[in-house]
Chains A and B, each alone.
Chain A
Amino acid sequence: MSLVVPDGTGIDLATVVPASGGPGEVHWSHRHLLDLDVVAWPEIELVMRTTDAMREVLARPIAKVPALRGIGVTILFYEASTRTRVSFEVAAKNLSADVVNIAAASSSVAKGESLVDTIRTVEALGADMIVMRHATSGAPYLAAEHFGGSILNGGDGWHAHPSQALLDLYTIREHLPGGPDLRGRKVVILGDVLHSRVARSNVWSLTAAGADLWLCGPATLLRGFERWASTSGDMPGHGRFTVTSDLAAALRDADVVMALRIQRERMSGGLLPSLREYAARFGLTLDRLDLARPDVLIMHPGPMNEGVEIAPEVAVDPRSVITDQVTNGVAVRMALLYLLAGAAGKPRSTSGG
């Protein structure tokens, strides 16, 4: 058995916590959450378990705990967002953090302040954690180099959206008929994969979970992914990873189908002939879903273009878990804020607490 200090909240003994935790105990080891490529499966499972605890908190009459009291969380969004921004804000408030919301359009960014300057300013104003969204892929990595606290990537360009991928995984595990084990289960990500940070982050977590992952869409919107799939033997988890434009092959016997938003704002250079043609060839309709397993889970990261990538009746089908994704977003983000707060370069006390 492990050595345990009785009455845990008093850290009177000169407590030294091993960096890796005791045997069998997984601890979160990352100061920032930029993408899931560096997050190992046991840590992803830790996020899932911590999310369970946060769901219990959310079900309480007073859905608020003091875990992040005194921690400053700044939400810095350079791109439009409703669900991600609001759910991070609600999550931080549920943990009693001090939340500051900055919309870049109405801040000094509009006067030409650089990203690095903004990060330094936000730090000087007391932020311990920054939740950041930026249209440029990699921007949070630059921010992390100049910030003393933790950066949570709330979506950067086409690159990554780790909290979305984790809430997708949590929602799948919660609803998947036959239990949460994704090994060998067929998960299809359908649509504008090229521009999708959601898809890219999901590739890491779903292959780590051992899923049989299929990416499907018009060939112009899959560029670069074939090569990634061909190297998937090197990825953690060794889930299968297939890239195809054959919609029928992708949907056949699928356990989960996730439709991606056609990102009109990023569409240029003749990637698609027209939205109507896209809807006709790749739109997720009830007819097409007949190819999948009868109990298939239908997902969408939102916001939806109904009638384009997903038919309205599919979005509200009983098999759709799209609103569960939004609900779980708050709990997953509470878990992430809580876990990161523990790794955010806190002062270590060796004397009595």
Chain B
Amino acid sequence: MTGRLIMTADEIRRATVRISHEIVEKQAGTAGLALVGIQRRGVPLAHRIAEAIAEHEAVELPVGALDITFYRDDLSLIAQQPLVKGTDLPFDLNGATVVLVDDVLYTGRTIRAAMDALVDFGRPQAIRLAVLIDRGHRELPIRADHVGKNVPTSREEIVRVHLLETDGEDGVDIERVVGVVAEPIAG
């Protein structure tokens, strides 16, 4: 990590556990709950939340993975097609309370795309949103139900979530980048 560390591995763990409690508390139990991680880093986060819930509630929640690539609103704007990482929703969404999980909430466009994708699979009873980092700068009327950490940022900054499963280590850093070559794709 090259930027300023804003969340350590321990803090990520505590935030994940707290979110897992909040999800169960809001639902008043675990009935009908399903977790759906948004590719890419939302998927391991969803699994971690499910493991935490399994620990304190002794219930195994269904966990899915959602790739929102085909639902992006900027496919006609970016120069090259993003790589598709795959969707796997091995349960019935109809009537379920789906908690979308992502690493960073920013403009809200990923979540808009994710909701469009989800409703193509069925009609959930409710869709909720859990994110590890909310960095502000929303461009759509979208709000997270469960937030690991609110981080005030400027648009010139980049927030990077590193997870053991995808990056070999846990941590979140922030860095000011001006004119740096960046990939348009994130989880």
Contact = CB atoms under 8 A, between A and B. Distances in A.
Contact of A61 (B116, B121, B184): B121
B184 A17 contact: yes
A142 to B, nearest CB: 27
A3 B107 contact: no
B3 to A, nearest CB: 10
B160 A66 contact: no
Interface of B: 67-88, 102-110, 112-113, 116-117, 120-122, 133, 135, 137, 139, 155-156, 158-162, 167-168, 177, 179-187
Instruction: Please list the 9 inter-chain residue pairs (A to B) with the smallest Cβ-Cβ separation, ordered nearest first.
Output: A10-B107, A342-B81, A7-B106, A6-B104, A9-B109, A65-B70, A8-B186, A53-B84, A67-B70
Given A10-B109, A12-B106, 13 more contacts: A3-B160, A5-B184, A6-B161, A11-B184, A17-B78, A49-B84, A64-B120, A67-B71, A338-B81, A339-B81, A341-B81, A343-B81, A352-B139
B109 A62 contact: no
A349 interface: yes
Contacts of A8: 72, 82, 110, 184-187
A27 B78 contact: no
18 contacts: A3-B177, A3-B183, A4-B186, A5-B182, A6-B159, A6-B186, A9-B74, A9-B110, A52-B86, A61-B120, A66-B71, A66-B116, A342-B78, A342-B81, A343-B81, A346-B76, A346-B79, A353-B74
Contact of A1 (B108, B112, B162): B162
A341 B186 CA distance: 20
Contact of B181 (A16, A56, A95, A339): A16
Residue picked from A2, A11, A12, most chain B C-beta under 10 Å: A11
Given A53-B67, A348-B79, A3 B87 contact: no
A17 B80 contact: yes
A47 to B, nearest CB: 11
Interface stretch (A18-26, A173-181, A320-328): A18-26
Interface of A: 1-18, 21-22, 25, 27-28, 46, 49-50, 52-53, 56-57, 60-62, 64-68, 70-71, 95, 338-339, 341-343, 346-349, 352-353
Contacts of A70: 76
Chain B contact residues, majority secondary structure: loop
Contacts of A347: 76-77
Given A28-B80, A56-B86, A66-B71, A7 B184 contact: no
A63 to B, nearest CB: 9
A304 B67 CA distance: 39
A65 B71 contact: yes
A342 B108 CA distance: 23
Contacts of B72: 8-9
Contacts of B180: 3
Contacts of A12: 106-107, 137, 155
B42 to A, nearest CB: 11
B60 to A, nearest CB: 24
B120 A11 contact: no
Given A6-B159, A28-B81, A346-B77, A13 B182 contact: yes
Residue picked from B88, B104, B182, most chain A C-beta under 10 Å: B182
A18 B80 CA distance: 9
Contacts of A50: 84
Residue picked from B78, B108, B116, B167, most chain A C-beta under 10 Å: B78
A13 B105 contact: no
A57 B69 CA distance: 12
Contacts of A352: 139
Contacts of B117: 65
Given A66-B71, A346-B79, A348-B79, A7 B105 contact: yes
Contacts of B110: 7-10
Nearest to A53: B84
